[in-house]
Amino acid sequence: MQRTLYGEEHRLFRDSLKKFIEREITPHQEAWRDAGVVDRSAWRAAGAAGFLCPWLGEEYGGAGGDFLHSAIVSEELARAYESGFAMPLHSDIVVPYLASFGSDEQKRRWLPGCASGELITAIAMTEPGTGSDLAAIATTATKDGDGYVLDGAKTFISNGQLCDLVVVAAKTDPDPARAHQGVSLFVVEAGTPGFVRGKRLKKMGMASQDTSEMFFEGCRVPASCRLGDEGQGFMFLMQKLQQERLMVAIAAQAAAEQVLADTVAYTQERKAFGKPISKFQNTQFKLVECATEIEVGRAFIDRLIVEHARGEYLVKECSMAKLWQTEMASRVVDTCLQFFGGYGYMLEYPVARAYMDARVQKIFAGTNEIMKIIIAKQMGL
């Protein structure tokens, strides 16, 4: 089906982004995977080209675009099999906390650097003993004079080694009876005493993403680094998690589309028993099933992109998209990998990396089991 949500301005933006990826990303992907981290120079290049925080207003150094520009960035990175350059995490998951909940002074202080790529961001929610249950976090922020002292450990933090700013969820009220009212958000800058970066974690997929542990050991931050009022953190997280889940779904959809396109091309070239394997009925039936799931997913996700861009609050639908698109992408990639035979198991083939990258999408941004609980509540069950 023809996509109608993007205008001419978006088409030009996509064309420019594709050229940027070909020039600044594709030649370096293998080196980044080997190093386990993306070069900082790539972040600055992306910022200079207007691909970071493209929705941000010009008064803060942004391009003044919209959420559709962000969706394009996520789609094209997925189509380039680049899962480690966490531009969508930075632009559309972390920075929105600063833009939505930061004071004027905080916005002027941090947002221009976020748009330029001089400041790379991360968000520290997950803890070693706490995943999707954000009300149960153990990291504390104890009031001390005109500031707070943070103590605790975080894990699975994307951009953990590179980040210059990290939004930290911490308990300012330890009373279990006030679990949801006791969470606050703080912006911690690199170099703050007591902010310790742990080891970069070795993962099954997303090889070029510097996912890390993070520790706060008597880390003192001024009150000017708190986002919003004390105790508003859980509410802020709930507001922004919908966009985070939608971004995951957008990437999963685009990845499934690219893997299918590459698999169709491969089956038309690869021969067995004297003819292309695309001519076998099993190949055709399996790829048709994948194509049908992808078309259904595309119709749903494009509708959500448009409605989300209009400002609609789509808790149920974003949770459904995160659940369905990530499950669908896993099915599609697994089916497609089979047609590559032994080559599908080789890391030099993008389909193998896509297979590994797809698995975590059913875990982060809230596990798919949590998505089912949210959807059930939205249904009044």
Asked whether the predicted pLDDT for residue 134 surpasses 90, the reply is no
Please tell me the CATH superfamily of domain 235-378, with its number. Answer: Butyryl-CoA Dehydrogenase, subunit A, domain 3 (1.20.140.10)
Residue among 77, 26, 123 at smallest CA distance from 251: 77
Which tens digits make up the pLDDT trace of 50-99? 999 999 999 999 999 999 999 999 999 999 999 999 999 999 999 999 99
Fold of the 8-119 domain: Butyryl-Coa Dehydrogenase, subunit A; domain 1 (1.10.540)
Which tens digits make up the pLDDT trace of 243-266? 999 999 999 999 999 999 999 999
Active site residues: 244
How are beta strands 165-171 and 121-124 bridged, if at all? parallel
Angle at 208 between CA 202 and CA 210, to 5 degrees: 60
Please give the class, per CATH, of domain 122-229: mainly beta
Domain boundaries along the sequence of the chain: 8-119, 122-229, 235-378
Which tens digits make up the pLDDT trace of 182-210? 999 999 999 999 999 999 999 999 999 99
